[in-house]
Amino acid sequence: MIFIFLLIVSHTNQRSYRSTRNNVPYSVAQLLTTAKPINLSIHIVLSLLCKSYIMTPEELASLRKDYTMNALNEADMAATPILQFEKWWRDAEMSQITEMNAMTLATTAHDGMVDARTVLIKAFDEKGFVFFTNYNSSKSSQLEFNSNCCLLFFWKELERQVRINGIAEKISTKESIEYFDSRPDGSKIGAWASPQSMVVAGKTWLKETFEYYAERFKHGHIPKPPHWGGYRVKPIRVEFWQGRPSRMHDRILYTETEAGIWMHERLAP
């Protein structure tokens, strides 16, 4: 511990980590989040110390980032939101974002409460955005109750969001089978073993159920369960959000005026 203390003192003496507002030393958390370069070994030590550090309300309130990477101009927008999404998708691919296909799906529950969870997009085209799930799950029940939903992509590495308001509908069984057959065997077995969103007896029960289906299908083809398949969200409105300095973000909203015809407008940040 003495070595760690001396290491931190030595490093902070070499660099004047001081607040620009009131000229007081940075806290451990501020040292970790400062934009100034920091030696990797010091960062590891501070990270270990921060395991027992609790951020103050003032520090939480002061967390912010100014977005400066890109801009979004009407003249550069594609004719349709899908074409624009393709452009941003390619940017996300080039940026090597981890799980760039992760999106939040928001639905409406039967009691009027709004629900949300992260799912993975598996296909998109002019017809919409496709994801797969258990048709007996809470999300599926809610989509049967109210097919209006919202998808949200947040690519923080690019300081971008895409928000999609649309209507969800089940895709064909053929499409679902084609995708299901491409999945790893473990995921296929999981689709049989998990009664998604239902209360179960415990983790042991889930393990035993998984092992049961693994044994059942170990010698042959694993078929798609009848209760499993895909949804396609047909977009009605699509907003592209690009972070900008001083919270003056660029927001361009596409709205379908008639079948296949889209207009786009700028929204105030």
Contact of 153 with 103, CB cutoff 8 Å: yes
* DSSP tag of 18: B
**d(C-alpha 85, C-alpha 91), whole Å:** 10
- Which is the catalytic residue, given 18, 90, 216, 247? 247
Q: How distant, in Å, are the alpha carbons of 87, 104, 249 from that of 77?
A: 10, 24, 16
Both structure tokens of 155: 């690519």
Place of tokens 């999106």: 103
Q: How distant, in Å, are the alpha carbons of 114, 199, 213, 221, 233 from that of 148?
A: 11, 26, 35, 36, 9
Catalytic residue flag (residue 90): no
* DSSP tag of 111: T
Active site residues: 247
